[in-house]
């Protein structure tokens, strides 16, 4: 079954607002990844986190790898309409470099 829980499931915000979403797990992950899926496309990797406590930024995006290695959050500052999409967290499991994905957070931005 699904091991990563994302919240919130959806968000509807005003352009310019900051956004925060998170991902939790009952299991420890040694790597956390955040992907974004634009409508009608496949997910694209945004940020990868490899160390507990790590804080990484990519433009207006900031992600942190939780100290317990069981959670991660993603923040988006000053949202713009092109931030619309579904954001997935993911972590590796098992052999074959397999990733397990969370259920996603759907972000909608009102201009």
Partner 1 sequence: DAGITQSPRHKVTETGTPVTLRCHQTENHRYMYWYRQDPGHGLRLIHYSYGVKDTDKGEVSDGYSVSRSKTEDFLLTLESATSSQTSVYFCATLVGAYGYTFGSGTRLTVV
What is the Cα–Cα distance from 84 to 108, expressed in whole angstroms? Answer: 5
What is the Cα–Cα distance from 45 to 108, expressed in whole angstroms? Answer: 19
> Please, which residue, 31 or 77, has the CB nearer to partner 1?
31
Q: Interface with partner 1 includes 65 (CB under 8 A)?
A: no
Q: How far is the CB of 65 from partner 1 (least distance, A)?
A: 13
State both tokens at 103. 């259920």
What is the Cα–Cα distance from 32 to 30, expressed in whole angstroms? Answer: 7
What is the Cα–Cα distance from 71 to 101, expressed in whole angstroms? Answer: 13
Q: How far is the CB of 5 from partner 1 (least distance, A)?
A: 10
Nearest to 22 by CA among 38, 11, 13: 11
Q: Interface with partner 1 includes 66 (CB under 8 A)?
A: no
Task: Identify which range of 31-39, 51-59, 64-72, 75-83 contacts partner 1 by CB under 8 A.
Answer: 31-39
Mapped onto helix, strand or coil, the DSSP state of residue 11 is strand
Task: Identify which range of 12-20, 55-63, 73-81, 98-106 contacts partner 1 by CB under 8 A.
Answer: 98-106
Q: Interface with partner 1 includes 85 (CB under 8 A)?
A: no
Residues in contact with partner 1 by CB under 8 A are 1-2, 4, 6, 9, 31, 33, 35, 40-45, 48, 88, 90, 92, 95-104
């Amino acid at each position: 079954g699904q091991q990563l829980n994302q919240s919130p499931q959806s968000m509807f915000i005003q352009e310019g607002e900051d956004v925060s979403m998170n991902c939790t797990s009952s299991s420890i992950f040694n790597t956390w990844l955040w992907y974004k899926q634009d409508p009608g496309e496949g997910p694209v990797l945004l940020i990868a986190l490899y160390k507990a406590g790590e804080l990484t930024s990519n433009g207006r995006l900031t992600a942190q790898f939780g100290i317990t290695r069981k959670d991660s959050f993603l923040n988006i500052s000053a949202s713009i309409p092109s931030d619309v999409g579904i954001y997935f967290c993911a972590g590796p499991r098992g052999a074959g470099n397999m990733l397990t994905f969370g259920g996603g957070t759907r972000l909608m931005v009102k201009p």
